A and B are shown apart, each in its own frame.
Chain A
Amino acid sequence: MAGSTNKTVYDIFQSMENGPAATSSTATAQAWLDHHSHSLGLFIDGKFVRPADRQTRSLADSKGGNVCNTVCAVQDDVSQCASSAVSGYKAWSGLSCYNRAKVLLRLVSVLGQHSKCVSELCELCEASCSPSSLVRLLQYYSSWAQLRDTLITSWTPLGVVAVVVSDDCSLYSLMLKVVPALAMGNSVIVVPGRSTAPPALLLAQLFVSAGLPAGALNVLTGSDMSLGAKVAQNPSISYVTYSGNKQDGVMLCKAAAGMGVPISVSPCIGATCPIIIFESADIDSAVDGVLETAFKKKKEVNWVLCVQENVLERVVARLKLRMAGMTCVGLASDADRVQVDAAVQEAQQQGATLVQSCAAPPSGALYPPTVLCGAAPSSSFVVSPAPGPLLPLMTFRSNTEAVTLGNHSPHGLAASIWTEDLTLALETAKSLSVGSVWVNSHSVSDPCMPVSGHKDSGTCTDGGQEGLYQFLHSSCSSSPPLPRSSPVSMDYTKFGTAASPAIIPDDSDAASAPKSYLQFVGGKACKSESGCTVAVQPPGGGSVLAYCPDGGRKDVRNAVEAAIKVQPSWMKKSPSARAQSLYSLAKGLEAKRRDIAVSINVQTGLSMDEAEKEVDLSSARLNDWAAYCDKVQGGTLPVPQSGSALSLPEALGVVGLVLPDKNALLSMVTLLGAAVATGNAVIMVPSEKNPLPVLAFVQVLQSSDLPAGLVNVISGSRDQLTVALANHSVIKAIWYWGSAEGCQYLQHTCTSPLKTLRLFCQEERDGGKDWTQSHPSLLEEMWRNAVQWKSVWIPTA
């Protein structure tokens, strides 16, 4: 629009064009940056520090001008920061709930005073985030801070939490991790991305002026993801949580594997999300929604438009009319333009037709909003979306096909569905395997809505009350599950490939020949696919107690096939029906009390009395879980907008359990119950050392009325089976009791697709968890690990 300011009133009167976009002032933010000489330090122990001799990283604004420089922290800074965070944790967690809530609320008023500075700085850094959304976040979580000890009893903060985000992550996503972590009494080390660094530093400063103790919130800036791994390495860190794009998240997971720190990932950037328009939709509103969200300059998700075939023409006609006046969207770089051109050209070669607001300018880092009609799930621009304002459009025939189409993606972040048919809306919302469903709306978020990315879109829940538990642990559970260590150098391809030792018993007396156990796959007791067995030895070794199948990849594959066949219908069953099945499982266990007790006695040498006690405790535990079935529930959420928001707990799907050695039976039923009560199917690997009680339990499973395939037991080499579980994409979660090396293997391997990992290293201390305890918070911790949350947002007038 060069020379546009010379336009006369009459020119404009005739063309009725929009004026040039107003450039808003950034004077307040500039003044803050000037105060820091445009060179921001690290924020450690309540103040800015500028260590000498550090590299810096510069941040440019949209026009290429330098906004400021940030310091690239090194190992010394990380250590200094971590020790500050430890003392910050002491001070902060030592405050009363009331005082913590007060600090968060005071920040609200501090933000009010400096909202101009915050919003201008966000704009300058292109990390747009409205101060009002931060205010809402703070207000929401300050109420949880206030009521932590009242409503979340028997849970304690983790300690020092590291929040790491990628360069493209928004400030809001960053704060959605930081605020709940602080609200629960943790101290936080933030490792922001390039664009979020300046606003994060400013917010940290404001937090301190609101009364946050020094060290409770530190900010370390760096040059790339490696700083996140350096922070994770520090032994004071209890938990690392990440938000941003998938690739950087994977990089962080791989780098931090084996450090003995749990890591969760919320890949909120770059997921593919469907917008589904049914024939029953208010099509004009749906098209409005599409135009509002699909062509944003900063593309956080890749939308795919799915339209019911019989309204395709109406949708396309309206898109054409409404898009006519839209202007080109800026791209990040000329390189992006090349990619966009290539994608569009390829689409056209595959027969796609374009709906464009205007012809693409011959060159330059901008492109008009473009709908690529005639896309298919296999189109390359759908599979690997290009940057820029491109929106693939595909069609579906029926309501069920819409769900299939929407679910047929590795991602599970969100979906927007458009229909005026309430039943259809709710059915579709339930069937879509995504974290957020927006009915007749899009991109609505509120801190009170819990969202877990499904499938490859996340391993933790953010938002709502549910989002607090990643920053808490049961006060009854013993100290951290993983010992801190340095990653050992291991060859990940060799893990679990060692041949099992062949043990041939010395005495070949046919009468006392050791018993052969069977595993349990798809509802049938069977041998392993390979036909091989491994010997089970008593404590101390020497003789052979029994032979059990030597299961492997094929057995895991068969079990998963069987499990996914029944899991959806198990999840759909009413909670009380699930409860009845578990009650009857408990009854079946009571009926076989003696047999199972004998297996415990044989395996561990425990007296029959004590063995029977464990069996009794186990049936009681199953009864606990049966009773929990209809207690795990979502509800309606108190969103500020008018409408109904539902939160629904959903099963993860298929969960792999690598069971502990200790209390082999009791621990197994505890974990099995947690997973199955909440609607999951399980594939259990009994302890390699003490497999007999679990294998004896197979007879109970066989006579139970659980659907065939819901519970599978595969015995054999733990490492080998761990590898098999880790490399099956259907398995969404693995709960693992085993070696430190195994933990490292899983953290390193389970990244594509992401799996939710609960890792326990049982080498360290003898035993670890006390399975005989049944404190409510312990059971709650378990069932919370077994569900993912979906929020459904149905706005009304």
Chain B
Amino acid sequence: MAARNPGMKLDLEWISKVRVNTQAVLKRAQQIQGQKTPKKQWQAAWLLKAVTCIDLTTLAGDDTPSNVHRLCLKAIQPVRYDLLRKMDMHDKGITTAAVCVYPSRVADAVKSLKAANSSLPVASVATGFPAGQTPLETRLQEVRMAVADGATEIDIVINRTLALTGQWEAMYDEIRQFREACGDAHMKTILAIGELGTFTNVYKASMVAMMAGSDFIKTSTGKEAVNATYPVAIVMVRAIRDYLLCTGHKVGFKPAGGIRTAQESLVWLTLIKEELGNDWLCPHLFRLGASSLLADIERQIYHHVTGQYAAYHELPMA
């Protein structure tokens, strides 16, 4: 795996020059959505790729050890073994990329995975998820505790107040501190794009997050009114490309929220392939934050293998 993004000094001049033409981005998004998605074995392969990029997530108030346990075991065997076997993919290590839970459930997840002899990473949201409206000290502490419980990936949320009021320096400093608190755990920075107002702000926030050393930038918490949309993603991946051109560091991208169908996951892969290239089509640089998506993908794979449409109960639940 390539070196992590070390971040860089905050370059406010760069941030101030950002220009995004909204309609052109919308048009590009339409164009990507209009492209033909792969069929037949190409579709199956792409869907399996999508599976390996999923952060299988449960972020609910009623999460308990038992449903977290189910989630973990589904993450290890995301697609029915016999189906994988028919495609000769049973021994290719097809698991989801990670499981993603609230900080208090990290220990449960780590325990379940360990029991199942899996090294699958556990990701935890942190820093006052989803609103980020808690004091900095408690947000930092939250990160440290999740890491201590065994989370190796931390999804932090940015302070939207700072972003909306243009206090990029303060935001940069906060994220820097989060990164420090993460230690070796990878940091995914959630921009909560639904609350940033404009594409230009999304671009700027992406840039600041990367300069502050994020390993991934992530669209949304799944709790805002607007979640992962293709146009916003285009703006964010352009920022990633821009950052790569200037620093040589590859930062990952994670859309999350509202991604439910296999078809959508194919469009996401197409978008990444078109905008960033094949390098990004791996769990190190691309994640899909989702919970119900996996079930639909598994049904599509079932259809590919058997030619039949599966009932939901035919496939193991998460």
A contact set with B: CB distance below 8 Å: 7-13, 15-19, 21-22, 280-286, 288-289, 292, 314, 317-318, 321-322, 324-325, 420, 440-441, 642-643, 795-797
Contacts and interface: CB of A to CB of B under 8 A. Distances in A.
Contacts of B27: 441, 795
A356 to B, nearest CB: 15
Interface stretch (B2-10, B37-45, B133-141): B37-45
10 contacts: A7-B42, A8-B87, A10-B45, A10-B92, A18-B273, A285-B20, A285-B25, A292-B31, A440-B21, A441-B23
Given A10-B89, A19-B38, A281-B19, A797 B26 contact: yes
A12 B238 contact: no
Nearest to B245: A317
B273 A16 contact: yes
B88 A8 contact: yes
Given A10-B45, A13-B49, A19-B42, A321 B241 contact: yes
A795 B23 contact: yes
Contacts of B242: 284
Contacts of B13: none
Q: Which 3 A-B pairs have the closest CB atoms?
A: A19-B42, A285-B24, A12-B45
Contacts of A321: 241, 245, 277
Given A281-B21, A797-B26, 17 more contacts: A7-B41, A7-B42, A9-B45, A9-B48, A12-B45, A13-B45, A16-B46, A16-B273, A17-B42, A18-B38, A19-B38, A292-B31, A325-B274, A325-B278, A420-B21, A440-B21, A797-B22
Contacts of A284: 238, 241-242
Contacts of A12: 41-42, 45-46
| Range, interface on chain B | 35 or more
Interface in B230-263: 238, 241-242, 245
Given A10-B92, A282-B21, A16 B28 contact: no
Contacts of B44: 9
B171 to A, nearest CB: 23
A728 B46 CA distance: 62
A552 B61 CA distance: 93
A306 B32 CA distance: 26
Given A321-B245, A325-B274, A22 B42 contact: no
A19 B273 contact: no
Nearest to A13: B45
A321 B241 CA distance: 9
A13 B21 contact: no
A292 B35 CA distance: 12
A133 to B, nearest CB: 15
A7 B39 CA distance: 13
Contacts of A8: 41, 87-88
B313 interface: no
B2 to A, nearest CB: 17
A643 B24 contact: no
Interface in B264-305: 269, 273-275, 277-278, 281
A128 to B, nearest CB: 15
Interface in B65-100: 87-89, 92
A288 B26 CA distance: 12
B285 to A, nearest CB: 12
Contact of B24 (A16, A18, A314, A441): A441
A18 B42 contact: yes
A7 B46 CA distance: 13
B40 A19 contact: yes
Contacts of A15: 278
B89 A285 contact: no
A324 B276 CA distance: 10
B89 to A, nearest CB: 6
Contacts of A420: 19, 21
Nearest to B281: A16
A282 B39 CA distance: 34
Which of B21, B22, B31 counts the most A-chain CB atoms under 10 A from its CB?
B21
Contact of A440 (B24, B48, B49): B24
Interface string B211-228: 000000000000000000
Contacts of A440: 21, 23-24
A22 B39 contact: yes
B31 A282 contact: no
Contacts of A16: 45-46, 49, 269, 273, 278, 281
Contact of B88 (A9, A292, A324, A795): A9
A797 B23 contact: yes
Nearest to A292: B31
B304 to A, nearest CB: 9
Contacts of A322: 275
Nearest to B280: A16
Nearest to B31: A292
Contacts of B89: 9-10, 13
Nearest to B20: A282
A795 B21 CA distance: 10
Most chain-B Cβ atoms within 10 A of its Cβ — which of A22, A322, A797? A797
A323 to B, nearest CB: 11
Contacts of B22: 796-797
Nearest to A284: B238
A284 B17 CA distance: 13
A285 B28 contact: yes
Contacts of B238: 284
A9 B87 contact: yes
A643 B275 CA distance: 26
Nearest to B276: A321
A527 B24 CA distance: 59
Nearest to B301: A9
Contacts of A10: 45, 87-89, 92
A730 B40 CA distance: 60
Nearest to A8: B88
Contacts of B23: 440-441, 642-643, 795-797
Nearest to B41: A9
Given A12-B42, A12-B46, A280 B21 contact: no
Nearest to B26: A797
B256 to A, nearest CB: 21
A289 B31 CA distance: 11
Contacts of A796: 22-23
Nearest to B278: A16
Given A10-B88, A18-B42, A318-B241, A324 B24 contact: no
Contacts of A441: 23-24, 27
Nearest to B270: A18
A286 B43 CA distance: 31
A324 to B, nearest CB: 6
Most chain B C-beta atoms within 10 Å of own C-beta, residue among A15, A17, A19, A321:
A19
A11 B89 CA distance: 10
A282 B242 CA distance: 12
Interface string B87-131: 111001000000000000000000000000000000000000000
Given A12-B42, A19-B38, A19-B40, A282 B24 contact: yes
A324 B25 CA distance: 20
A289 B88 contact: no
A439 B24 CA distance: 10
Nearest to B239: A284
B307 to A, nearest CB: 16
Contacts of A642: 23
A325 B277 contact: yes
B21 A22 contact: no
Contacts of B88: 8-10
A4 to B, nearest CB: 9
A17 B45 CA distance: 10
Contacts of A283: 19
Contacts of A317: 245
A438 B286 CA distance: 35
Contacts of B24: 282, 285-286, 288-289, 440-441, 795
A325 B277 CA distance: 7
A112 to B, nearest CB: 21
Contacts of B40: 19
